[in-house]
Every structure is written in C-alpha cells, then in structure tokens.
Structure 1
Amino acid sequence: MKKSDFHYDLPPELIAQAPLPERSASRLLLVPPAPAAFADHGIAELPQLLRPGDLLVFNDTRVIRARLFGHKASGGRVEILIERLLDGDQARAQIRASKPPAAGSTIVLEAGAQARVLGRDGEFYRLRFEVDEPLEAWLRHAGRLPLPPYIHRDPDAADDARYQTVFAREPGAVAAPTAGLHFDAPLLQALRARGVETGQLTLHVGAGTFQPVRVEDLDAHHMHSEWLRVDASLVAQVRRTRARGGRVVAVGTTVVRALESALREGELQPFAGETSIFIRPGYRIRSVDALLTNFHLPESTLLMLVSAFAGQERIFAAYAHAVRERYRFFSYGDAMLLWPPVQTP
C-alpha cells in the first residue's frame, strides 16, 4: 500500500481558516454503508441520527499554548513547538532554526525566560525551562496557541476558546481533537434528551499528527507516539452499552486510536500509556460502531484510519461529494458521520 493511494485534490478555498460563529452550525455528511446514498445534514441534527442508548465517546484533552519564539545566545532566531510536557520543568519539542542548537546551549525566549537544550532524539529536542512556576501554568500566559499549519493567520482571542472543546480538562495536547469542536451546551443537552450517553477518555494529541508521511511504502512508515488513558469507568460504560444493544460512537480519530490501543484479546480494558498504533486499510477496527470525524489532509495517517473504518473507496467517494457540495475542510471545518461496511459472515 502506498502513500499516493491516499491523495486527493482539494481546492484551497475549502480549507476553513476560522470557526463558524456557532460550534453546532457546522454541516454533517452522513456516510452510511454502501449502496445507501450520502445525505447532507447539520451537526445539530446528530441526536436524530443516533438512537437512545447509544454512547458517544469524547477525548477530553486540553490544548496547551505550545508555541514559543526566541533566539539562540549566538543571535539566531528560534521557533519552538512543544510536543509533550515531561516531568518537572522539561518538555520535548520541535525547534525551527537556521542552524540546529547544540546540546548545552541556551535559548532566550521572548516571553522572558530561558530554555536549556539537554539533547536531541531524532526530530525532537529535550528542553529544560528556567521558569518560576509549573511549566504548563507558565505556558498559559507565555506561550501561543499552536494553530495547524494550514491555517494561514496568527491565533486571536477567539481561538483561545474555539480551538478547545467545551469538555477539555486534561492539559497536554498540542492540537485539538477537532471532531469535538462541534459540540456546545445546547447540542449536548439535546443528545441527553434523546437518551444518548457520553463518556470520556484522554489522548494527548502530539505534534506528529501534522507530520507528513515521508515514505511512499507505508510498511516503512514509523507512527508517532501519543499518551492516552482509558479509565475503568469508560470500559464499564462501553460494556453496558453493548449489552443493551447500543452503539459506541467515537468522536474523532483520537478516540479510535485510544480505544483500539486499549483492546486486549478483543476486549476493552483500562489502559494508560503510550500508543504508536498505525491504523490503515487491512486493519479491522473493533472498538467502535460509528465514527464522527472531520475531513482530513491528503496522504495523512488520519485519512488512512477513516479509510480502514469505512472503506477506502467509500471514503474517497464521500470526499468527492464533500468537495462538490463545498463542505469546509480540516480543523475548523465540517464533519462526517461514518458507518462501517456491512460485515459478511
């Protein structure tokens, strides 16, 4: 299987550069199993597309203000994108500079602090920040929100709220779990009134989510690692849902990655730790019955994941429909509700 198998053409004007005034004003493309037709809906209609007793699973990670700017002691300008908070005052980060900083060197930050380069592991650097409060707390006022690279503007005050889900509570992500951005209080209330339950897990989305696949042969691709936690309470919710005939609906690809990583011998189990799972066609997703997700970049591992879930041919037909109907793409864009193909005995 090749990276180029997942290419599609997208008019640049369909890449959403800002959120809509209301979260639940986004469009929703319903993608049922073939040969049923696609159907154009709004995200506000989601309660009517689900059944009482279904379970929506959200990712409650919170985006940290992970982008920093500064200069090396020698004077060269530096941009830092924190990939992960580590113990104490340390972080793993990507660094953009004219010349890679050496271990032991110091970066003077515009925010009024310094970062010491402890070493490098591949594309990531290990940094120690000289700050007088916990690093995550310091970043809240010193860092900048890391909007995705396809949003061609600086973040503003509106992004501080809109590039977080309304249920975000566990800081650690450097990108939002974007399928969750569509949910607001009225939509959540409508789901509860419909009898749809909700559950939460945590997966801290890393900077690797925006890294392009650099090899044509997907067998040679090394997936980035992300930290997750699936609690026993969610495992119990999933089991109760399945026992009563309800369906488990993942809100976003990060939820699928987390739940699939927590499977042990086909059964969902509590789990906390790292995952580098690479889900692509040929992999059968067993942990969820439906997937609510945004539209993903060409040749990305997220597009490969949704192709594994709903079928590659079906996904590309849905994307072609979305382009024709002028859906909005990527993080601040519209959504699709995917059902897997009907399994033959």
Structure 2
Amino acid sequence: MSLEDLEFELPKELIAYQPCPKRDHSRLMIAREDATQITQFFNIPHHLRPGDLLVLNNTKVINAKLTLNTAHEKKVTVYLDSKCSKGNWHAFAKPSRLLSVGDELRLAQEPDYKFVVLKKGEGGRIKLAFSSEAGMDIHKMLDLYGQIPLPPYIKKEVTPSDKERYQTVFSKNLGSVAAPTAGLHFTDQLLKNIADKEIEIAFITLHVGSGTFLPIKGSIETHVMHQENGFIEEKDAYLINQARANGRRVVAVGTTVLRTLEYMMHNFGEVKAGSFSTNLFIKPSFEFKIVDLLITNFHLPKSTLLLLVKAFAGENLINNAYQQAITHKMRFFSYGDAMLLYKQKPLT
C-alpha cells in the first residue's frame, strides 16, 4: 500500500467544524462486507451482543493552548503536546522564530508562572520547563488560563460548547491534547442502555498527543510513529483479559483503545495493569490479537488512523465505506459521524 492509497477527495462542506447538537444523534455507519447500513449512534446497542466487552478511553483533554509573552513582550502561542521527564513538556510554538534556547515565557495574566525553552526542533517543536513561584500545579494553571486545543483544521475561537463537547462524558484522567473522538458520541444514558443489555464496560487511559493529526511523512515504510503514554487499572485489565479468555467479543471505542490493547497483546500476551508507553504503528498485514470490532470516526487523508482502519477492516471495505459516507453526506473528522467496523477475516 502506498500514500496514494490513503488519499480521497472530500467536499469541504462535509468537514464537521461543530459537534452534532446531541452527542448520540450523530450518524453511524455499520460497515460490513455483505451490507452497509446508516443509522444514528444511539442505536449502537442493537449492533452489539450481550456478553460483549466495550472498552473506552477515559483520558481527559487538558487546556493545552496558551498565549505567552517573551521577554520582549512578543506574543507566542504554545500548544503543549506531552509531558516528559522531570515535569518538562514537549510542545509546539507559533511563531517559533521568536524563540531561542534559554528564553523565558510568561503568562500576561500571571507572570509568576514561567516556561523556559530547553530545546528547539523543526516545525515549531520545542521542549519547555514549567515553574511557578506560587507552587501551583501546571494542570491547575492550565484550567485557569489555558484553552482547549481544537484540531488544527478547525480555525475558530473556542466556545463554551467546545469546552464541554470536546471531552467525553466519561473523561477522567488529565493528559490528552486531542480528544479520543469515537468516545464523543456516548451519553450517560446510552452507556446505561449498553450496560442494561448485559454488555460489560472497561476503561483504559491513553493520552492522545498532537501527533494524531500529523500526516504520514515520506512513505509508509519510513514513517516514525509518535509516542503516547497511558495507564490501565487492575480491575479493567482483569475484565479485558477475562473477556478474551472466555471468547467474548472485545469492542474498541476508538483507535487509541485498539492500539493500546494490541500493544499489550503483542508485547505481553495479555493486558497488564500499570503505566506504559507505545508508538505502535498498525499497517496492513498486522495481526490483530484481541479486538473484534472497532467504533471510530472518519479520518483524515494520508493519516496513520486511516491506514489503521484499512488494516483492521480491509482496504476495499474502507474505500467503499468512505465513498458511501461522502455520497450520503456524512460528517467527517473529530466532530463528525462514526462507523462500526468488523475485523476482516484472514485469507484462507
């Protein structure tokens, strides 16, 4: 498969710049080899079975977008990306040309909070150290002065609606700079309806980095996948391992959940509790060991996520599904509609 196989023409009016008025009223495509059906997301329980295990990512998006002042009172927009060693952060800066290693950046509202540029890279990449003379935790500071970092193709001011709708209703553990978007369609009532059907629910945490929006560079073979960090609680690891041991279907809500579970199975043969990091890059011919169904949104061209869904469900099925989604004017990307995919059967 080449990069050209990950391209498609999408009418701009099908890009979802706003969320659906009601979370679970977005549309849902059931994509199978024998038939394709389009319904609404609140009907998802009808397409699952009692005994299935639904696995959700309970990461929470941080207010990772900051407007900071340089020592010369120039404004720089900084997007925190991921936490690294000793409390430092990887980030992106615009315009990065204003910055040099050693520069101090401060909030206009609260100059006691300071970032120091430790390193500069290409494409606006920087490494920052945060300190607070008041001893404030960075997450508390971000809650007060940061903004939700909407996807880069959504060029508008963040609204109160975005602050609510760019989080899942089950978000819990702070750390992501992008939402696990397949989870945005769920409501508390829908989760109750799923549980009432005797479908178990488990959680993992994978903090989504901004690399999720980056296109594949160069070629599929040479692309370097971004690293993401996560955590799984003991009770959830137990539920997932039991479901697999008992031959029950495992339904991943989002590519972040799928990558986490498959990383675990390929590295340990089971899902282990505790902290982990993964840069698993899923491509065609990947052997899926645990996930049977995937709930996911419609992804960007030339993205690792589009490559993942083609590896999972099959290239022909995905190509057909995306074309039907365009024909039926479904909504694409983070605030868009969803699809339910079945793992393709191995060739015999």
Q: TM-score range by the shorter chain?
A: over 0.9
Q: CA deviation at 1:108?
A: 3.2
- Cα distance in structure 1, aligned partners of 2:341 and 2:318: 9
**2:295 is the alignment partner of 1:292:** yes
Q: CA deviation at 1:268?
A: 1.8
**Residue aligning to 2:36:** 38
Q: CA deviation at 1:122?
A: 5.4
- Cα distance in structure 2, aligned partners of 1:222 and 1:242: 30
Distance change (3 Å), C-alpha of 1:106 and 1:290? same
Contact 1:83–1:92, Cα closer than 8 Å, also in 2:
yes
Contact 2:29–2:36, Cα closer than 8 Å, also in 1:
yes
Q: CA deviation at 1:186?
A: 1.1
Alignment-mate amino acid for residue 57 of structure 1: V
Distance change (3 Å), C-alpha of 1:47 and 1:23? same
The TM-score with structure 1 as length reference comes to 0.94
Q: Which segments of 5 or more consecutive residues in structure 2 lack a partner in the other structure?
A: none
**2:201 is the alignment partner of 1:198:** yes
**2:167 is the alignment partner of 1:169:** no
Deviations 1:111-139 (A, max 9, x none): 43332112235553221233331001110
Contact 1:177–1:252, Cα closer than 8 Å, also in 2:
yes
**Residue aligning to 1:66:** 64
**Residue aligning to 1:103:** 101
**Residue aligning to 1:209:** 212
**Residue aligning to 1:143:** 146
**Residue aligning to 1:229:** 231
Q: Which segments of 5 or more consecutive residues in structure 1 lack a partner in the other structure?
A: none
| 1:259 equivalent among 258, 261, 271 | 261
The TM-score with structure 2 as length reference comes to 0.93
**2:274 is the alignment partner of 1:274:** no
- Cα distance in structure 2, aligned partners of 1:109 and 1:2: 45
1:302 partner SS: helix
Contact 1:230–1:258, Cα closer than 8 Å, also in 2:
no
- Cα distance in structure 1, aligned partners of 2:192 and 2:260: 25
- Cα distance in structure 2, aligned partners of 1:308 and 1:263: 17
Contact 1:268–1:287, Cα closer than 8 Å, also in 2:
no
Deviations 1:178-205 (A, max 9, x none): 0000000110111011111100000000
- Cα distance in structure 2, aligned partners of 1:263 and 1:229: 15
**Residue aligning to 2:48:** 50
- Cα distance in structure 2, aligned partners of 1:60 and 1:265: 22
Alignment-mate amino acid for residue 149 of structure 1: P
Superposition RMSD in Å: 1.8
Q: CA deviation at 1:19?
A: 1.1
User: Which shows bigger deviation, 228-237 or 17-26?
Assistant: 228-237
Alignment-mate amino acid for residue 248 of structure 2: G
Q: CA deviation at 1:234?
A: 2.4
1:219 partner SS: coil
